[in-house]
Amino acid sequence: MEERVTAFHADKCDRCGICLHLCPVMELPVKKAQEEIAALINGEDSHYALSRCTSCMSCNLYCPTGANPYSLIQLRWNDRYTKQGAPPLYKFVCPTMEPNIWQLLNVLLSEKERTWISGWMDTVPDKDDEVLLVGNYLHLFPFIIGDSALLDHFRPIDRLDQWEGGAYLYQGGYLDLVQQIALRCKQDFDTWGVKTVVPMLDAVHYIFTQVHPEEMGVHHTPEFINFHDWLLDRIDSGEIPLPKRLGLTLTVHDNCYSKPFGDDLWDKHREILTRCGCSIVEMKHSRKDALCCGFGKGASWTRNFTLPYEIIAEGAKKFKEAKDTGADALVSYCGGCIYLLWAARELLGSKIDIYHSLEIVRMAMGEHLDYPRDHLRRAWDVIAIITYQWLVSIFQKNFFIEQITFDRNRSTFKPKKYRLLLFIRRLFDIPLVRKSYARMFRFIMPLLSRKNPASHAERDRALY
């Protein structure tokens, strides 16, 4: 196994602090930003970045010298994990730990959804297949694509213990684990022998094509095609006709992992939506300045107890900006963001519609969606699971991820009965309980989440 290579270029960093000064979350005064960068480089105590960063990756785009400052933050998070482990609530997104979100959701899935997912997880592709990597998080909302004619073009595969190439671990700075996962993925690809792989997520495309070879020293043999490139090509060729003009006004959530691709991806995604007969209005923060959906706040955890409230508090910023645009709907092309956005929508009491961009395409194709019923049901499934996992985690300690491949006789495949989870979920079937729970969450959230000053002036007063 080759040595892991850091993407932070210390020789290029002049410690100017521009990255953290322009950061849409921290917005540090230049002097404080310079001090923070120096502390991170020297491995000293961080006052801001490691507890406030939402892993949105914008700082890499702001850096005038191409030093990749986000990778410096990742290095220090990796150091913290090595010393302290991960917070117990993080088991939630670890498919080899018990319980995890996929295992818990298996108790609540419909039979149709189980059939789709089982097919994606158990199928071994032929060498001539064009593989579509469905992704761990779209697994949570399989109805987004499960019965679509889009799947006729692929062999859909969902391998939970590929960890989406380690994308969400990488985002949180678990770099040593990502290298192990890269080797695990390489074994899968070499065994399959396929020539073409189309990841649904641009995050996974970036991980396989950039992070694995350049930082982890692991090179894969298939050709990886960005899903947006694939989809736009098929629309242009007429293989995927879009006969229905939707006439929706949409605002776009640009996810964190879109930023390494830049305008090329942002433009193509918006072009796809335009081809569906939609118009686009932009939020205050979009493209390179886009705020995280909230999920990335989990990377900078400080206390396990407050983690869900801090995540949703970050997501609330996104909903305010989306509402201010006057758009009919907020659209995301990231499966991870979709599950967080739907849960946040319900907890925050927002009324704006939320779509995965695939759903926009499917409606333009003339396919029927059971919208929003499926999403509302799944949102409260997820909220019930988060509530259950949070309650359980209160009595647990930090942990280290020791296995990256799960035992097929346990975990997601043979879940327990989880009576407490089922009880919580049944309570959420009662409208008054849902409404009361969301109000309670909104009341507690500002008390437990960290609030950043809204302007540079306010921040200067707070910091000095």
Q: What is the pLDDT of residue 175?
A: 93
Q: What is the pLDDT of residue 462?
A: 43
Are residues 154 and 35 part of one domain? Answer: no
Within-domain flag for 295: yes
Q: What is the pLDDT of residue 410?
A: 54
Within-domain flag for 168: yes
Q: What is the pLDDT of residue 453?
A: 37
Distance CA 196, CA 199 (A): 10
Within-domain flag for 137: yes
Question: At which of 51, 84, 117 does a domain end?
Answer: 84
Residues of the chain predicted below pLDDT 70? 1, 408-415, 450-464
Are residues 257 and 179 part of one domain? Answer: yes
Within-domain flag for 2: no
Are residues 46 and 129 part of one domain? Answer: no
Are residues 194 and 264 part of one domain? Answer: yes
Are residues 94 and 47 part of one domain? Answer: no
Give the residue among 160, 168, 152, 147 at the shortest CA–CA distance from 121: 160
Q: Which residue has the tokens 């998070």?
A: 77
Are residues 292 and 150 part of one domain? Answer: yes
DSSP 209: I
Within-domain flag for 51: yes
Are residues 245 and 194 part of one domain? Answer: yes
Q: Report the relative pairing of strands 155-157 and 130-133 from DSSP bridges.
A: parallel
Q: What is the pLDDT of residue 413?
A: 55
Distance CA 373, CA 117 (A): 20
Question: At which of 84, 101, 136 does a domain end?
Answer: 84
Are residues 265 and 189 part of one domain? Answer: yes
Are residues 163 and 33 part of one domain? Answer: no
Within-domain flag for 94: yes
Q: Please, which residues have CB within 8 angstroms of residue 316's CB and are 6 or more apart in sequence?
A: 294, 344, 348, 445
Question: At which of 84, 99, 128 does a domain end?
Answer: 84
Are residues 237 and 256 part of one domain? Answer: yes
C-alpha to C-alpha distances, 194 to 200, 205, 211, 401, nearest whole angstrom = 17, 16, 21, 30
Q: What is the pLDDT of residue 455?
A: 38
Rg of the Cα trace of the chain? 21
Within-domain flag for 458: no
Give the residue among 301, 383, 299 at the shortest CA–CA distance from 341: 383
Q: What is the pLDDT of residue 460?
A: 41
Q: Where are the alpha helices (DSSP H) in 199-298?
A: 202-206, 212-215, 227-237, 263-275
Are residues 199 and 108 part of one domain? Answer: yes
Q: Containing domain of residue 362, as a range?
A: 89-446
Beta bridge pairs of residue 330 = 251, 354
Overall domain count for the chain: 2
Are residues 207 and 328 part of one domain? Answer: yes
Q: Which residue has the tokens 């997880």?
A: 121
